[in-house]
A and B are shown apart, each in its own frame.
Chain A
């Protein structure tokens, strides 16, 4: 079986659900003949027709608002926002409507929809194309925020997100779109939402991350092994709702935790995880929880962007710091 990239896994999951659930409708800007700016929807309109895969006028707030109307009618909209940096005009519809239609109507109308958006830095993209603002959505009750970090998890988590009865913000790390390939059988088997994935076991320190930073975090874990430091690596995957059980369980064992994320430091999900560790896991901790994050600046344009998000070196150095505590 041919190995596929993360973006191909997205395409494979979309095709599977379009073929197996006739209420699924994929739409957005350029998703039709062009197949999406990253080619995530390539071939889908040709295969499933213009009633299932629709090119829309250019208006992000419209995409989110019409998805609410369609979802309330029993369809399962899967919306593509071209880049996360362009989603902000849709926030009104996402926060005021998609996240709360079920609650507002006490279950009479619901909003089973997925908003997909590529996100993150590291591909030398123009201004506004490199944002990592997942925490904005994690703050909103009623939403799920799901972030895959490999082709297999992209496939399984996207299937789960489309099948989920509530709105899901599905963020795809652009830097990972074509970085590595995996065997991803087109089995239609979803992965569970709302749980972390333990990617690597270790007893010395817990590394918690998600999205593209998993790549650097795993590399750091490998380097640390050379130094006889055995890191457990957790891919949070669903950042809202947060599976603290898995993280707490790991920290009980390791006593140390370093959280790695590409979002800026202030008010990031790292802060939430650290706060919950302080609330529920303090007695397990042998060292202060550390955050290795992007700096609290605007994402720099291409020339400086590699300084912006965490490097393997910064992760390793942070781990060495927590290892100094007995």
Chain B
């Protein structure tokens, strides 16, 4: 049966803007924002990325020599974490997944704490720096931290505090219900929250193409009524600018934003993974040309704000700083085993006191098994 031509009117449409300031070689694509006018700030962004990379390489080396547990590399994603951290105010709250350690470092979490965490010591999530007392620890169950962020943002809104919650989530994490539920609530309640999607192309071995048919992951926020955009996640200036703009928008009560940062996971998913099983080498080579650190270094050198002497000095300082952290990590004492009961509840219930005593009486067992 032939139907007559039907007409449908368009009731909604959307656009996803994409932002970048520096190209792969560090050449300026458009006038830089004010945050990039201050050379000292750009140097700090650069130094933070370099230290994060040195830390990352050392963490992998520690794991390979049996001195650290499974560890997820951040290689190639330093701009994203640093840009996020730099965009936040101390009073904001970060709900990170596990590849945003540069943001955590920027905010005050120590390298020692991150090593302790992946080295099997819970105290690594008991951040000591007063400015990060309310930040959530690294979140392992994928995407679940997005809901903590809307809860934190709800508290800010109910108390009328000009603060913002920032959650990061991987590309794979945006396939989870948690993400959609968080985005939905953020839109419905106009919450002061920013979701940063760390799209590094891979969810362990599953590529972005299998993860979703959407042209962009950013547009997943459109359905929740959020502002949504993409940013070059390897351009630290663009990341900071985009996240900071979204944070200030949220702080002013103008609603939540989804920012999809396009980056690339240059390493394996974790030290327990081997990306050669599912990823071809040419793809990696292509993305190495987009390296976030080289890019900013080129820009800084082009404007004569950086030279090889400064680079040598920075590399040396970064190595020394990480070496000091590793030394502190190596001699960090192992807690008494019965302390595994000490933060189960505020006060240990009677029912478990005998078990605590039983653990206390156990003979020493090596954690190297």
Contact = CB atoms under 8 A, between A and B. Distances in A.
Interface string A245-286: 100000000000000000000000000000000000000000
Nearest to A69: B151
B178 A241 contact: no
Max chain B C-beta neighbours (<10 A), residue from A69, A103, A144: A69
A93 B351 contact: no
A103 B343 contact: yes
A51 B127 CA distance: 31
Contacts of A194: 349-351
Contacts of A92: 141, 144, 178
A110 interface: yes
Contact of A104 (B122, B152, B346): B122
A97 B147 CA distance: 11
Interface string B107-136: 000000000000000110111000001101
B321 interface: no
B319 interface: no
Given A69-B165, A93-B147, A105 B351 contact: no
A94 B146 CA distance: 15
B211 interface: no
B154 interface: yes
Contacts of B177: 59, 61, 89
B126 A69 contact: no
Contact of A62 (B127, B134, B185, B349): B185
Interface stretch (A70-78, A221-229, A302-310): A70-78
B123 A57 contact: no
Interface string A57-99: 1010110111111111111010000000000010011001100
Nearest to A65: B147
B343 A69 contact: no
Q: What size tier do the contact residues of chain B reach?
A: 35 or more
Contacts of B93: 73
B318 to A, nearest CB: 28
B184 A65 contact: no
A109 interface: yes
B343 A106 contact: yes
A215 interface: no
A191 interface: no
B182 interface: yes
A101 to B, nearest CB: 9
B151 A166 contact: no
Contacts of A93: 144, 147
Contacts of B122: 103-106
Given A73-B134, A73-B152, A75-B158, A65 B352 contact: no
A104 B349 contact: no
Nearest to A240: B351
A141 B342 CA distance: 12
A106 B126 contact: yes
Contacts of A66: 147-148, 150-151, 154, 185
Contact of B154 (A70, A102, A108, A245): A70
Closest 7 CB pairs between A and B?
A: A69-B151, A65-B147, A73-B155, A66-B151, A241-B351, A241-B349, A106-B126
Given A61-B181, A65-B182, 6 more contacts: A57-B185, A62-B147, A70-B154, A75-B155, A105-B126, A105-B343
13 contacts: A59-B184, A62-B184, A69-B151, A69-B153, A73-B151, A75-B158, A92-B178, A103-B344, A107-B126, A109-B137, A144-B345, A166-B346, A194-B349
Interface of B: 93, 95, 122-123, 125-127, 133-134, 136-137, 141, 144, 146-156, 158, 165, 177-178, 181-182, 184-185, 188, 343-346, 349-352
